[in-house]
Structure 1
């Protein structure tokens, strides 16, 4: 059984240093937003400078140091361009051990996601140095409101990159650092960060679940993790194999038959208001062997613990909404199974009956994600009558071949939803790209209503069209996050391991589309 301690193994127990967030779960780093105070207690000073502009903080430091800073920057051709980073020798008049100056470029054009990435670069750089107390000066962002937002987004990026999954390491990664961020309006910056800190906790949960090893993250373990959200006011329901079968969800039941635990349907509902809910439907294959169509080539099978990343993302999003007590009605429906090979496993050539009443010929047991999602989509419609459904899944290798790992494949007939999610993706730097819904004729079967593989067509599209058969008249979006669930190395806001991809995208979209 996965315990709460295990789930939070990556988020250290240091509490935040400002009161509005005192009720939150553990964070990887500590932040204190303050006004423009003395900087002499810092071990490291970080100053941001916009292109062709000397910030007031930098000018103040410059006076203390008899022009040494400007001369040092000029010698290193520092112009304030985006991503420029210069560390210079500490001049007289400052007690800090190091001074780091980072270019912003045109700060007015930076998206929140770009500021997050900037914060992540601070973490990446300072992780190479033994410094624990960092003061960040943000006066290069002149407008007070923008300054507060910048500071909050910067802290968000610092924390996202600082996440650690070191449960299985004999040598744990270094302890957290303490950041003081000087802003014109510290209370406003704190307020802005409150929402982002909730989203971090959702991302951290999704990363924890995805990074966990498959024998410690089967459908039963995942259900136990979801039940932890009850403490936040989330209603959690878990359907076991007997109930799944009784409800006629034969596709979900079939995929889980090869494992000892069988399938689970996990429902986590944050009802922040009485509006018709948004249903987030997640694919939760806790390990995908491929079934009898086993993944026998390459090393792809070793990464198949991440085939439940869609379920992890939607559960993390519900946690993010609950922790900020968002005025939204969101339900996550997660179809959980381990796709294993055994004498009880479903086989190529089988026909399974979905709760929708459509029969499906199984041509490929490795196209199992669409099967479990079919019944989950039906359940979300049948029991919650949602206004909108968004399913999230590591569904197809074809999506990776089409778009690579930097874009999520988006499928929908609803232009408004496409536009909204595209805007949110650009804002948080989890970009989406629309792909067509077509080739439904390739899903015709001579012995069943559908077949689960549309051979001869674009795989990501035929998989999406298969799912569309189970959405009824409900507004629907399918997000294929294949390739984005695990990071091979540290990059941007994401350290190596489970990424939590989708939590920030969905959280931004849910909160903003309700306004």
Structure 2
């Protein structure tokens, strides 16, 4: 897994600032007020900081961003970053400041003077998340990234918060690595192996093979992988950190590569379908975070790992398949395969665990990108309480999410002449009819959310806290939901 940035927390030492190696950063309020570290650096630089904050250049700097001074006189550091930040910043601004520090830092050592500023752990989280880079398959020599030292007023109080933040960051990194990995490396077997290795963290992990899946009746899931040489699998991860209460179930689509099957996708852009296991990646990252921070909650993660390939054995358009629930599905389009994976593992999760709530995640439809772009995931739910709690958690973590409608009129679009339902309902409202399909496999007593993350799992340009590529969207929001609503 990609290594987290090394970050140390020490009590503020003003005498050490002049000789700090690498790069140095200080925090200054939007109105230009300097804390003790800022005043010390200002004196060392012969009032250069004061001149900056009194200039028009400072007015143009946005909160959470910084102004760089190269080779500042009076300092051993090769560069100084002056970051604009309130003494009591919002979570978003603190993490944005951390991201600015990460881009400023590069591979060099960095000393940050945080002083008595609040949310130092959030600054560190933003720094760690934005420092991520996926370079496993680059053969050129990679310079070693040096660490960060954060000077703060009360390091003993910051460290426990920072440990929790780094557990979240580790889960995000795990998800990003999985989503970024090419399909010839992240086969269904390799994916299952990486999840099995998390038993070292205290998770209980089971891998169900094709014979077991067939015995359970997971025919819709197995139908997706019929054309692939990679065996279909279901991985169950259990974290039992709570009492006797029923668990929250997280269910993820794990299509390690999606050609579309017999309903073959166009060649242009098909290389991006390595990310079609993003839902399973998020579930895996959340489970890793929960184990790392020893969450006092019961959570089960269930992911279906398949590859959708065309072959003489592949499922055809027009085939009728019986699900684990017992309902029959007419496959109109083999490229609408994610819902076939999810419906079986959703039913399995409910039958086996009787969860207190269930949340499924999937890079399910291109339609959600048309509707919401790359800023928000689509949220579909049968429960105002559960969806409200999730949207609150997502808002607290600044992960975009927007609730979408469900309704009987959409459900009618899934009618089939030869089976209980079709797997698609036409172009109109494509993300909604996909959710309506899944809702048929949700028991009446189960509070449920479907998250369509097709637009947010992997993006073509950098975001506030991630370089282009996999974002790890959802790990922070779901961990927050567990902390706020399911911890004992």
What range is the shorter-chain TM-score in?
over 0.9
Equivalent residue, structure 1, for 2:232: 263
Unaligned runs of at least 5 residues, structure 1: 1-7, 12-26, 142-146
1:500 equivalent in alignment to 2:472: yes
- Runs of 5+ consecutive residues of structure 2 not aligned to the other structure: none
**After the TM superposition, which residues 87-486 of structure 1 pair with which residues of structure 2 at under 5 Å, given as runs?**
87-88=68-69, 93-104=74-85, 106=86, 108=88, 110=90, 112-127=91-106, 132-139=108-115, 141=117, 147=118, 150-274=119-243, 275-296=245-266, 298-299=268-269, 301-438=270-407, 439-472=410-443, 473-486=445-458
Taking the aligned partners of 1:74 and 1:86, their CA distance within structure 2 comes to 13
Q: Matched residues in 1 for 2:240 and 2:54: separation?
A: 56
Shift of 1:108: 4.0
Greater shift after overlay, 82-91 or 305-314?
A: 82-91
Change (3 A) 1:170 1:297: closer
Asked if the contact 2:81/2:104 (under 8 Å) is kept, the reply is no
- Kindly provide the CA deviation profile for residues 467-511 of structure 1, in whole angstroms up to 9, marking residues without a partner as x: 111110211001110022223233321123322221111111111
**CA distance in structure 1 between the partners assigned to 2:319 and 2:92 by the alignment:** 46
SS of the residue corresponding to residue 430 of structure 1 reads coil
- In structure 2, do the counterparts of structure 1 residues 286 and 90 end up closer, same or farther at CA, with 3 Å as the change threshold? closer
Asked if structure 1 preserves the Cα contact closer than 8 Å seen for 2:62 and 2:84, the reply is: yes
Deviation, structure 1 residue 69: 2.2
How far apart in 1 are the matches of 2:327 and 2:438? 12
Mapped to 2, the partners of 1:69 and 1:137 lie a distance apart of: 14
SS of equivalent to 1:257: coil
Whole-angstrom CA distance in 2 between matches of 1:100 and 1:456: 50
State yes or no: 1:490 paired with 2:457.
no
Secondary structure in 2 aligned to 1:315? Answer: helix
Normalised by the size of structure 1, how large is the TM-score? 0.89
Using structure 2 for the length normalisation, give the TM-score. Answer: 0.94
Contact 2:71-2:78 at 8 Å conserved across structures: yes
Q: Which of 25, 45, 54 is the aligned partner of 2:24?
A: 45
Identify the residue that residue 48 of structure 2 maps to in structure 1. 68
Contact 2:241 2:298 survives alignment (8 Å): yes
Native 8 Å contact 1:113 1:426 kept in 2:
no
User: Matched residue of 1:292: which SS?
Assistant: coil
CA RMSD of aligned residues (A): 1.8
Deviates more, 1:476-485 or 1:80-89: 80-89
Q: Distance in 2 between matches of 1:266 and 1:195?
A: 26
In the TM superposition, what whole-angstrom CA distance separates every residue of 1:116-140 from its partner, at most 9, and x where no partner exists? Answer: 232112111232xxx6321111237
- Mapped to 2, the partners of 1:119 and 1:89 lie a distance apart of 19
Structure 2 counterpart SS, 1:433: strand
In structure 2, distance between residues paired with 1:220 and 1:85: 45
Deviations 1:434-490 (A, max 9, x none): 000120111111211111001153001000111111110211001110022223233
